[in-house]
Amino acid sequence: MGLVAVFYAQLFGWAEEIFIYLVEEIHYWMFLITPILFIGSFLLVHKYAPYANGSGIPQVTASLELIQNRRSNRVIKLLSLPIILVKVGSSFLMALGGGIIGREGPTIHIAGSIFKKIYDILPDWWPRISPKNMIMTGAAAGLAAAFNTPLGGLVFAIEELTKTHFNNFKHSIFIGVVIAGITAQSTVGSYLYLGYPLAVNIGYGMVFAVVLSSLITGWFAGVYSRWVVALISWRKKLNFNKTLLFLAGISVLITAMAIFMDHRIAGPGKEIILGSLFTSDKYLEWYVPIGKWVGSALCFSSGAAGGVFAPSLSIGASISAAISGILNLSPDNTNLLIMTGMVAFLTGITRSPFTSAILVLEMTDRHNLIFFFMLAALFGSIAAKSVFRKSLYEHIKEGILHDFQKKQ
C-alpha angle 108/114/119, rounded to 5°? 125
CA-to-CA distance for 82 and 63, rounded, in angstroms?
Answer: 16
On whether the CB atoms of residues 302 and 91 are closer than 8 A, the answer is no
**pLDDT recorded at residue 317:** 93
Structural domain boundaries in the chain: 2-193, 204-399
Measured in Å, how far apart are the chain's first and last C-alpha atoms?
Answer: 33
On whether the CB atoms of residues 182 and 2 are closer than 8 A, the answer is yes
Other beta carbons within 10 angstroms of residue 29's beta carbon come to 12
Q: Please give the CATH topology (third level) of the domain spanning 2-193.
A: Clc chloride channel (1.10.3080)
On whether the CB atoms of residues 315 and 329 are closer than 8 A, the answer is no
CA 71 to centroid of chain Cα atoms = 28
Return the amino acid letter for 345: F
Q: What is the DSSP string of 2-69?
A: HHHHHHHHHHHHHHHHHHHHHHHHHGGGHHHHHHHHHHHHHHHHHHH-GGG-B-SHHHHHHHHHHHHT
Q: Would you call 307 helix, strand, or coil by DSSP?
A: strand
CA-to-CA distance for 341 and 214, rounded, in angstroms?
Answer: 6
CA-to-CA distance for 10 and 4, rounded, in angstroms?
Answer: 10
Q: What are phi and psi of 249, to 5 degrees?
A: -65, -40
- CA 372, 162, 305, 152 torsion-angle sign: positive
Q: Comparing 2-193 with 204-399, is the CATH topology the same?
A: yes
Closest alpha carbon to 69 in 392, 401, 391 = 401
On whether the CB atoms of residues 273 and 317 are closer than 8 A, the answer is yes
- pLDDT tens across the length of the chain (408 residues): 888 998 999 999 999 999 999 999 998 999 999 999 999 999 999 999 999 999 999 999 999 888 876 666 788 899 999 999 999 999 999 999 999 999 989 999 999 999 999 998 988 888 877 888 889 889 888 988 888 777 788 788 777 766 554 555 555 766 776 677 667 767 766 555 666 676 767 777 888 999 999 999 999 999 999 999 999 999 999 999 999 999 999 999 999 999 999 899 999 988 888 888 888 877 778 899 999 999 999 999 999 999 998 999 999 999 999 999 888 888 888 889 999 999 999 999 998 888 898 889 888 888 778 888 989 999 999 999 999 988 999 999 998 888 877 765
pTM for this one? 0.87
Q: How crowded is the C-beta side of 8, counted as CA atoms within 13 Å?
A: 30
CA-to-CA distance for 249 and 273, rounded, in angstroms?
Answer: 27
Q: What are phi and psi of 110, to 5 degrees?
A: -60, -45
The strand pairing partners of 307, in sequence order, are: 102
CA-to-CA distance for 275 and 270, rounded, in angstroms?
Answer: 8
* Counts of helices then strands in the chain (DSSP H, E): 17, 0
Class of domain 204-399 (CATH, top level): mainly alpha
Q: Tell me 305's DSSP state.
A: B
